[in-house]
Amino acid sequence: MVKTRLAHLPSHKTMADFDYSFQPGVDPKQIAELLTLRFIEHAENVLLLGPPGVGKTHVAVALAVEAIAKGYTAYFVTLQQLIDYLAEGNEPVGAKMRVLLRPKLLVIDEMGYLPLDRQAANWLFELVSRRYEKGSIILTSNKSYGDWSSLFPEVAIASAILDRLLHHSTTINIRGGQSYRLKEKRRGGVIPTVDQAGSS
């Protein structure tokens, strides 16, 4: 029996499926370094930033797939799923936190679409603090760091979370890239290209 060491991957993607020529913001050398999984050995984090459709989730999933292939435990959740998991049900929060501390790699996808209330912000702070220098986090966000404070009830907690996340980390900023999702639609003429839209 093949032991699957992950839960909740939304899709199976690898970096072999990734078209670097479409996304110049992603450096193949940087990805090759991450694929060695040294960042997991060193309990470092990876932050993937950029607008929708530029491949943030793809890269996060590909790194998780590689981690599992090499025998690491990995767990994938969106930030919303993470907060819902901690908020709902009868199991004590402490026990659920321990579940989230267990995998060597925790992927938290889609930070930035919803602002966090105080409870959710405190949970995220606790999780990031307790994984700090112990277990890797890959986090994706459509918001640049400067905009993070708007997602939290207080600037101080946003700074405290960022401070711990970034201390030992790699940031891949895909800002300025084009949406791969829309590329297919543009090719089919469903929506105008950026140039066409801009010149009309």
**What separation in angstroms does the CA of 7 have from each of 26, 75, 77, 88, 197?**
26, 5, 9, 19, 41
Contacts of 88 (CB under 8 A, 6+ apart): none
Q: State the DSSP code for 21.
A: T
Q: Which of residues 123-182 bind ligand ADP (CB under 6 A)?
A: 140, 180-181
Residue 78 in contact with Mg ion, rule: CB under 5 A: no
Among 5, 6, 13, 139, binds ligand ADP (CB under 6 A): 13
Region near ligand ADP per CB under 6 A, out of 51-59, 64-72, 94-102, 116-124: 51-59
Pick what 113 binds: ligand ADP, Mg ion, none; C-beta below 5 to 8 Å, kind-dependent: none
Region near ligand ADP per CB under 6 A, out of 29-37, 39-47, 56-64, 86-94: 56-64
Contacts of 98 (CB under 8 A, 6+ apart): none
Region near ligand ADP per CB under 6 A, out of 19-27, 78-86, 88-96, 156-164: 19-27
Residue 54 in contact with ligand ADP, rule: CB under 6 A: yes
